[in-house]
A = this chain, B = another copy of it.
Amino acid sequence: MAVRAAVAGASGYAGGELLRLLLAHPEVEIGALTGNTNAGQRLGTLQPHLLPLADRVLDPTVPDVLAGHDVVFLALPHGQSAAVAEQLGPDVLVVDMGADFRLEDAADWETYYGSPHAGTWPYGLPELPGARAALEGSKRIAVPGCYPTAVSLAFFPAYAAALAEPEAVVVAASGTSGAGKAPKPHLLGSEVMGSMSPYGVGGVHRHTPEMIQNLSAAAAEPVSVSFTPTLAPMPRGILATCSAKAKPGVTAESLRAAYAKAFADEPFVHLLPEGQWPATASVHGSNAVQVQVAYDAAAGRIIAIAAIDNLTKGTAGGAVQSMNLALGLDETLGLTTIGVAP
Contacts and interface: CB of A to CB of B under 8 A. Distances in A.
A198 B181 CA distance: 21
Contacts of A190: 13, 175-177, 179, 181, 187, 235, 342
A338 B243 contact: no
B44 A276 contact: yes
Contacts of A340: 20, 49, 284-285, 340
A20 to B, nearest CB: 6
A194 interface: yes
A305 B196 CA distance: 11
Interface residues of A, number: 94
B342 A236 contact: yes
B176 A193 contact: yes
Nearest to A193: B235
Interface in A8-23: 13, 16, 20, 23
A217 interface: no
A16 B176 contact: no
B234 A193 contact: yes
7 contacts: A169-B169, A171-B243, A175-B190, A191-B342, A193-B234, A203-B296, A226-B301
Which of A169, A224, A288 has its CB near the most chain B CB atoms (within 10 A)? Answer: A169
Residue from A196, A280, A288 with most neighbouring chain B CB atoms (10 Å): A196
Contacts of A47: 341
A236 B340 CA distance: 10
A19 to B, nearest CB: 9
A190 B278 CA distance: 16
A52 B281 contact: no
Contacts of A273: 42, 44
Contact of A196 (B23, B297, B307): B307
Given A189-B188, A281-B191, A169 B301 contact: yes
Contact of A305 (B175, B198, B297): B198
Given A183-B183, A203-B298, 16 more contacts: A16-B341, A20-B340, A52-B337, A169-B169, A169-B299, A169-B301, A171-B171, A173-B196, A175-B190, A181-B185, A196-B280, A198-B277, A201-B305, A202-B303, A284-B340, A340-B340
Contact of A279 (B48, B173, B179): B48
A260 interface: no
Interface string A327-342: 0000000001111111
A324 interface: no
Nearest to A340: B285
A279 B241 CA distance: 19
A237 interface: yes
Interface in A283-342: 283-286, 288, 290, 292, 294-301, 303, 305, 307, 336-342
Contacts of A281: 49, 191, 194-195, 197, 235
Interface in A94-138: none
